Structure 1
Amino acid sequence: MPVLNPDIARAFDEIADLLEIEDANPFRVRAYRTAARLVLGLSSDLKTMVEAGEDLTELPGIGEDLAKKIIEIVTTGHCSFLEKLEKQTPPALTELLKVPGLGPKRVKALWHELDVETVDQLTRAAREGRIRSVPGFGEKTEARILEALQAQIAAVPRFPIAVAAPYAAALVRYLQNVPGVRRVVVAGSFRRGRDTVGDLDILATVAADSPIMERFTAYEDVAEVFSQGTTRATVILRNKLQVDLRAVDESAYGAALHYFTGSKSHNIAIRRMGQDMGLKVNEYGLFRGKERIAGDTEESVYAAVGLPYIEPELRENRGEIQAARAGHLPKLVAMGDLRGDLHAHSKASDGHHSMRDMAAAARAAGLEYLAITEHSRHLTIAHGLDPVRLRRQMDEIDALNTELDGITLLKGIEVDILEDGSLDLPDSILSDLELVVAAVHYRFDLPRGKQTARILKAMDSPHFTILAHPSGRLIGSREPMDVDMPRIIRHARERGCFLEINAQPERLDLVDIHARTAKEEGVLLAVNSDAHSIHDFDNLRFGLQQAQRGWLEMKDVLNTRTLKELRPLLAATMSR
C-alpha cells in the first residue's frame, strides 16, 4: 500500500489524541502533534527518504523513536504503538475530539460517566439530556454540543488542500505512466486553489486503447470502486477522499478542463454568454450548430465568447467576467514575486532550527530577507521570549547579519494580543524592533464586539506592524473568531498597518474574500510562511494561492518589496 506523508501525520495525530485521553505527559503528546505538523508540511516524501536510507533524525523534532515509527508505517502500513493504544482506548473516541467544545478531558469524562464512545452515542446522550448531569458540563454545554453535532452531520466532508495535494500528485505520477496516456491534470476546486476540496477531479487525454480506467481502479490506495466505465471512473481512497477520473478527446481537452475546473456559477455565466452569441457551450467544446468552433484549449473557450483567458483562481463568478470584458483582470502575484518572509520562528521559541539554518533555508527558497518573530512570554507552551531574552536575540541577529551572505534577518516578535487588547511586551522593547507581528492565541470565544474591540485596541499600539492569522481559524478543528473583519481591515487602512495571509496549511488565513476586501481598501497583505522549520518555506505556495484567489497583484503584497523599499514601510508603523 502506498504511504504518503499525510498518512504518517494522521497516525501521529491519532496517537496524540489517544495519549491525551489517557492523561499522558503533555510534552509527549506535544511531540507527536509537532511531528504530525512537520510531516504534513514536509516537501520531501518520507517514503522516498526511507527507501533511500536517509537519516530521519536529521528532521526537526524527529528523534530515534519517531524515526522508527515512520519507518514502520512506511514499510508495513501500520503502527504497532497506535494499535496498542487503540486496544487500550476505544479508537472511536478520537472522533469525539473533532466535535467543537470537546477536549480530551471532557471526552474521557463522557466515556467513564456515560459510556459514550461514538458520535452516535454522544448524539443520543445529548438528545436525551444526559450530558448535563456529568460534572463540568451543564445544560448550556449540552445544547452547544448537540448544535455542533447537527452541523457536523449536515456538513459535506472536505480535505485541506495541503492534505489533498500529495494524493493528487501521486495519482498524476501513477496515471502518467499508464500506456497511451498523453497528459493528466487535476481540475475542480483543487485547481482553483480553494483552501479545502471535497474530491479530486482528474482529466486525462489518452489513446483509444489505453487501459487507464483499469489501472486507475487498480491503484493500490483505492479502498472502494464506486463506478467504472470506458471514459469515467470514481473511486474512494483509503483516507475517504473521492477521486473522479475522466478520459477526454484531445480536441475537447480545453473545454473539458474549463468545465470540470468550475466553479459551477462561473461556468453558467460563460454558457449564457455563449448562448447569447448563438453558441452551445459544454464539456465537449463550443458549437455553432453542429460545427465545433473551439475547445481544444481553455484559451479558445474564452476567446470564442470574446474574453481573455481567466486564471483558475479567479473563477468564482465574483466579478471576474466583468473585469475580463473591461480588460481589468489582475496580473496575479506569483511565487517569484516574493522577496522575503515576515513571520518565522527559530528554536529560541517553538521552532526547530537555529536562526542561521532558517536564514540559509529562506535564501535557498529564493528569499532576500527573513523576519525572526519568536512568540512572546505569554505563550509559555511555546517557550515565548521575555524582554531579556528578546534583547539577547536582537544582539544575536545583528551579529549574524555581519556573517550572512545573500539574505538579511530582520528583528521582530510575534507578540500575544492579551484579552484586554494590550500587547504582551512593553513599548520599551517593542520600539527597538524592526517589526511587530501581533496575534490572538487564546480566548477565541469572546463575543463579536469584545473580540473586535480587543484587536482594534492592539492595532492602535504605537508599535504594531502586522496582524497575524487574523481570524484565528484552524481548518477542520477551530472555527474563525467571531470578529467584524471589514471593520478591522478599514482600521488597518486608517492606522497604516498590515494584515497577514498565513501560509501554514492548517491556517490559510486571511481567507480569500477578506484578502480581496483588503486589496480594495488599499491595505497591504504579507504572505508569510509562519515557518517553524527549514522545510516550512515550501508552504508559501499555499499562501500565494490564497492571495491569488483574493485577486492580489504584486503591488498588493507587502513582501514583494525589496528590503530597501520595505524598511520605510515597516518603520512607519513603528514610530507612532
Structure 2
Amino acid sequence: MPLYNVRISQVFEEIADLLDIEEANPFRIRAYRNAARTLSEYHQELAALVAQGQPLPKLPGIGADLGTKIVEIAQTGSCALLDRLRGEVPPAVAYLLSLPGLGPKRVRTLYHELAITSPSHLQHAAEQGLVRRLPGFGPKLEQQLLQALAKHLDTQARLPRASVRPSVEKLLDYLLRVPGVRQVEVAGSYRRRRDTVGDIDILVAAAPGYDVPFAFTAHEDVDEVLAQGTTKASVRLRNGLQVDLRVVRPESFGAALLYFTGSKAHNIALRLMARERGLKINEYGVYRDGQRIAGDSESSVYALLQMPVIPPELREMRGEIEAARHGSLPTLLTWQDLRGDLHTHTAASDGQSSIKDMALAAHALGLEYLAITDHSPQQRLARGLNEERLLAQLDEIDRLQSAGGLGVTLLKGMEVDILEDGRLDLSAALLDRLDIVVAAMHDHFSLSRARQTSRLLRALDQRVHILAHPTGRLIGRRAPIAVDFALVLHRAREVGCALELDAQPLRLDLDDLHCREAKEAGVLISINSDAHSAADLRNLRYGVEQARRGWLERQDVLNSRTLAQLKAFLKRR
C-alpha cells in the first residue's frame, strides 16, 4: 500500500512536534523538520520505490537513520519512534497542536504547568482564567482558544493546497486515460487556488456508455468508496483526502465546470444576471425558453452575459463581475513574469544547498537574479551568520559571480530579525554592505496590536527593502499577528519598502486580501520562495497563484522587474 511523500512528511513533523514537547535536542528536532520539508516537496514517490525494492535517492539533509525510517513508514504507515513518543505523551496533547496559536512550546507549557492533557481540560482551564496567567499566553490568546474549541475546530479539516496537489495531479492523469473520457478538470476551491482545501471536486466529460465512476473507484490510491452511481462517485484516499467525481456530457462540460468551481456567491450573481436577460443557468447549460443555447465551454456562458471569462482565482464576489462588465479586469500575473527570487537560504544557515547549487537551480527555472538571504545572528538554532561568517559569504558570492557560469546574477542579502522593540539584528555598517535587506519577525507574535504595529513601523524606518512574511501566520498552526495593517502599508509606501508574499506553502503570507490591499495602497509585493533548498525554489508557483487571487499584475510585483530596475529600487533606500 504505497503512501504519498506527504504522509511520510506528516510523520516526521509529528515526531518533531513530540520531541519539541519533550524538550529534546533542538538540532534533532530541526533535522526532522528539514526532512519533512524536503519530502513534502520531492517529486518522486518514495513509497513506490520502496515497494519495488529500489534504493532511496540521495536527499539533502536525509542520512542513513532518516532513510531507514522513510522505508519503515512507507512499509507500515508509521515508525517505532513515533509510536514510542505517542506513548510517552498523552494523545490529546499532540491534538492541541492543531489549535490556532498553539505550537509545541505553548503545548509543553500547558502540559507541564496546568497538566492539560485534553481539549476539555484546556477549555475548563481557559474558562477559569488560568491559561492567561501562563507566560506567553494572555487574555487574547485564551479567548481565541475558547472560540476554537467552541467551533470544534471545523476549519482544521482544511488542508494546505500544496499538500494535496500530488494526489490531484495523479488522479487527473489517471482519469485522462480512462476509455470514453474526453475532458477532465478539477473544480471547487482548488481550481480557485485557495490556499487551503477541504475536499476535491473533479469534473469529467465522457461519452455515453462508459462507466467512468467504476474506473475512478478502482484507482490504486482509493481506500474507501463513500458513494457510487452512474454519474457520481465519492471516495476517500489512503492519505485521508476526500474526492468527489461528477460525469457530464461534453455539451454541458463548461456550464458544469463553472457551476462546480464556484464560489457560491459568484454563481448566484451570474444566475441573477441571466434571469434579467430571460435566461436560465444551471450545471447543464444556459437555457432560453427551455432550449439549451450554450454550456459546452465557460466562455460560451460568460459570452451570453456579455462578459469575458473571469479567471477562477477571482470568482469570490469581490468586485470581479463589475470589473468584467466595465472591461477593467486585471491582467493577472503569470509565472513567466517573475525574473528573480529575493529571499532564499543556503547551507550556511538552515538551508540544505550551496550558493552555487541554488544559483544553478534558479537558472534552470528561468530566473535572471537570486538574492542569498541567510539568517542573522539572532536565529541561533538556524545557525544565523555572525559578522565574520557574513563577510566570508559576501566574498564567496563575489568569487562565484566573477567565475561565471551560474546563469543568474547573485545579490548579497540577509534575512535580518526584527527585534521586539523594532530594532534590526545587524549593525548599520553591515546593512550597508548588503545589496538587499529582508527584515522578518520570528518571535514575540503575541504582542498587543499597538506594540506590534509600533515594532513594524520602526523596522520600516531603517534600511529595509522587503518586509518578509509580514503577518507571521502558519496555515493551521499559527494565527496572524495583531497589527494595524493600514498603517504598515502607509509607512511602507512612504519609505519605499516592498512587502513579501512568502510562497512557502505553509505561509503564503501575505494572503490574497492583504495583497489586494497593498496593490490598492501602491505598495509593491515581492513574491519569494523562502527556499531552504534548491528544490524549494519551485514554491514560487504557489506565490504566483496567491498573487493572482489578490488581483496582482506584473507591475505590482517587485521581482517582475528587470535587474536594472530592481537595482534602482534598492538604491533608493
TM-score tier (shorter): over 0.9
Q: Which runs of 5+ in 2 are unaligned?
A: none
Q: Which runs of 5+ in 1 are unaligned?
A: none
TM-score by length of 2: 0.93
Output the CA distance in 2 between the equivalents of 1:60 and 1:441: 24
Question: How many residues are matched?
Answer: 571
Deviations 1:52-101 (A, max 9, x none): 87764632111111112222322443323323333444444311222345
Output the CA distance in 1 between the equivalents of 2:136 and 2:443: 21
Do the aligned partners of residues 218 and 327 (structure 1) sit closer, same or farther apart at CA in structure 2, a change above 3 Å counting?
same
TM-score by length of 1: 0.93
Q: Which moved more, 1:298-307 or 1:383-392?
A: 383-392
Output the CA distance in 1 between the equivalents of 2:108 and 2:513: 39
Match runs of 1:253-402 below 5 Å: 253-402=253-402
Note if contact 1:56-1:62 (Cα within 8 Å) is conserved in structure 2.
no
Q: Which moved more, 1:86-95 or 1:465-474?
A: 86-95
Q: Which amino acid in the other structure matches residue 415 of structure 1?
A: V
Output the CA distance in 1 between the equivalents of 2:433 and 2:112: 53
The residue that corresponds to 2:435 in the other structure is: 434
Do the aligned partners of residues 456 and 310 (structure 1) sit closer, same or farther apart at CA in structure 2, a change above 3 Å counting?
same
The residue that corresponds to 2:458 in the other structure is: 457
Q: Which moved more, 1:10-19 or 1:306-315?
A: 10-19
- Quick check: 1:443 aligned with 2:444? yes
Q: Which moved more, 1:562-571 or 1:346-355?
A: 562-571
The residue that corresponds to 1:410 in the other structure is: 411
Note if contact 1:524-1:558 (Cα within 8 Å) is conserved in structure 2.
yes
Instruction: Quote how far apart the aligned CAs of 1:381 are.
Output: 1.1
The residue that corresponds to 2:153 in the other structure is: 153
Output the CA distance in 2 between the equivalents of 1:169 and 1:84: 35
Question: Does the residue aligned with 1:499 lie in a helix, a strand or coil?
Answer: strand
The residue that corresponds to 2:194 in the other structure is: 194
Instruction: Quote how far apart the aligned CAs of 1:273 are.
Output: 1.1
Aligned identity (percent) is 54
Output the CA distance in 2 between the equivalents of 1:363 and 1:133: 50
Note if contact 2:101-2:478 (Cα within 8 Å) is conserved in structure 1.
no
Q: Which amino acid in the other structure matches residue 69 of structure 1?
A: K
Q: Which amino acid in the other structure matches residue 421 of structure 2?
A: D
Output the CA distance in 1 between the equivalents of 2:188 and 2:466: 33
Do the aligned partners of residues 407 and 134 (structure 1) sit closer, same or farther apart at CA in structure 2, a change above 3 Å counting?
closer
Q: Which amino acid in the other structure matches residue 460 of structure 2?
A: M
Note if contact 2:203-2:246 (Cα within 8 Å) is conserved in structure 1.
yes
Output the CA distance in 2 between the equivalents of 1:251 and 1:20: 55
Q: Which amino acid in the other structure matches residue 455 of structure 1?
A: L
Deviations 1:18-71 (A, max 9, x none): 223333222212211111122123334333555687764632111111112222
Output the CA distance in 1 between the equivalents of 2:112 and 2:387: 45
Q: Which moved more, 1:517-526 or 1:166-175?
A: 166-175
Question: Does the residue aligned with 2:348 lie in a helix, a strand or coil?
Answer: coil
Output the CA distance in 2 between the equivalents of 1:111 and 1:134: 14
Question: Does the residue aligned with 2:378 lie in a helix, a strand or coil?
Answer: coil
Q: Which moved more, 1:310-319 or 1:71-80?
A: 71-80
Do the aligned partners of residues 228 and 57 (structure 1) sit closer, same or farther apart at CA in structure 2, a change above 3 Å counting?
closer
Instruction: Quote how far apart the aligned CAs of 1:103 are.
Output: 4.8
Note if contact 2:136-2:446 (Cα within 8 Å) is conserved in structure 1.
no
Q: Which amino acid in the other structure matches residue 375 of structure 1?
A: H
Output the CA distance in 1 between the equivalents of 2:371 and 2:147: 42
Do the aligned partners of residues 53 and 413 (structure 1) sit closer, same or farther apart at CA in structure 2, a change above 3 Å counting?
farther
Note if contact 1:42-1:536 (Cα within 8 Å) is conserved in structure 2.
no
Do the aligned partners of residues 323 and 134 (structure 1) sit closer, same or farther apart at CA in structure 2, a change above 3 Å counting?
closer
The residue that corresponds to 1:68 in the other structure is: 68
The residue that corresponds to 1:165 in the other structure is: 165
Output the CA distance in 2 between the equivalents of 1:534 and 1:315: 34
Question: Does the residue aligned with 2:157 lie in a helix, a strand or coil?
Answer: coil
The residue that corresponds to 1:544 in the other structure is: 544
Instruction: Quote how far apart the aligned CAs of 1:540 are.
Output: 0.7
Note if contact 1:339-1:368 (Cα within 8 Å) is conserved in structure 2.
yes
Deviations 1:486-511 (A, max 9, x none): 22112211111111111000000111
Output the CA distance in 2 between the equivalents of 1:381 and 1:82: 23
Do the aligned partners of residues 101 and 555 (structure 1) sit closer, same or farther apart at CA in structure 2, a change above 3 Å counting?
closer
Instruction: Quote how far apart the aligned CAs of 1:218 are.
Output: 3.9
Question: Does the residue aligned with 1:381 lie in a helix, a strand or coil?
Answer: coil
Alpha carbon RMSD of aligned pairs, Å? 2.5
Question: Does the residue aligned with 2:94 lie in a helix, a strand or coil?
Answer: helix
Q: Which amino acid in the other structure matches residue 311 of structure 1?
A: P
Q: Which amino acid in the other structure matches residue 20 of structure 2?
A: E
Question: Does the residue aligned with 2:246 lie in a helix, a strand or coil?
Answer: strand
Output the CA distance in 1 between the equivalents of 2:120 and 2:229: 36
Do the aligned partners of residues 134 and 390 (structure 1) sit closer, same or farther apart at CA in structure 2, a change above 3 Å counting?
closer
Output the CA distance in 2 between the equivalents of 1:467 and 1:368: 22
Note if contact 2:99-2:153 (Cα within 8 Å) is conserved in structure 1.
no
Question: Does the residue aligned with 1:202 lie in a helix, a strand or coil?
Answer: strand
Output the CA distance in 1 between the equivalents of 2:106 and 2:193: 36
Question: Does the residue aligned with 1:72 lie in a helix, a strand or coil?
Answer: helix
Do the aligned partners of residues 381 and 69 (structure 1) sit closer, same or farther apart at CA in structure 2, a change above 3 Å counting?
same
Question: Does the residue aligned with 1:344 lie in a helix, a strand or coil?
Answer: coil
Question: Does the residue aligned with 1:343 lie in a helix, a strand or coil?
Answer: coil
Instruction: Quote how far apart the aligned CAs of 1:533 are.
Output: 0.1
Output the CA distance in 2 between the equivalents of 1:133 and 1:382: 30
Instruction: Quote how far apart the aligned CAs of 1:355 are.
Output: 0.3
The residue that corresponds to 2:478 in the other structure is: 478
Instruction: Quote how far apart the aligned CAs of 1:212 are.
Output: 2.2
Q: Which amino acid in the other structure matches residue 500 of structure 1?
A: E
Output the CA distance in 1 between the equivalents of 2:136 and 2:464: 39
The residue that corresponds to 2:84 in the other structure is: 84
Q: Which moved more, 1:343-352 or 1:201-210?
A: 201-210
Output the CA distance in 2 between the equivalents of 1:39 and 1:68: 14
Q: Which amino acid in the other structure matches residue 95 of structure 2?
A: E
Instruction: Quote how far apart the aligned CAs of 1:354 are.
Output: 0.8
Do the aligned partners of residues 68 and 453 (structure 1) sit closer, same or farther apart at CA in structure 2, a change above 3 Å counting?
same
Q: Which moved more, 1:557-566 or 1:340-349?
A: 557-566
Instruction: Quote how far apart the aligned CAs of 1:317 are.
Output: 1.3
Match runs of 1:185-224 below 5 Å: 185-224=185-224
Do the aligned partners of residues 539 and 288 (structure 1) sit closer, same or farther apart at CA in structure 2, a change above 3 Å counting?
same
Q: Which moved more, 1:489-498 or 1:97-106?
A: 97-106
Do the aligned partners of residues 297 and 103 (structure 1) sit closer, same or farther apart at CA in structure 2, a change above 3 Å counting?
closer
Question: Does the residue aligned with 1:24 lie in a helix, a strand or coil?
Answer: coil
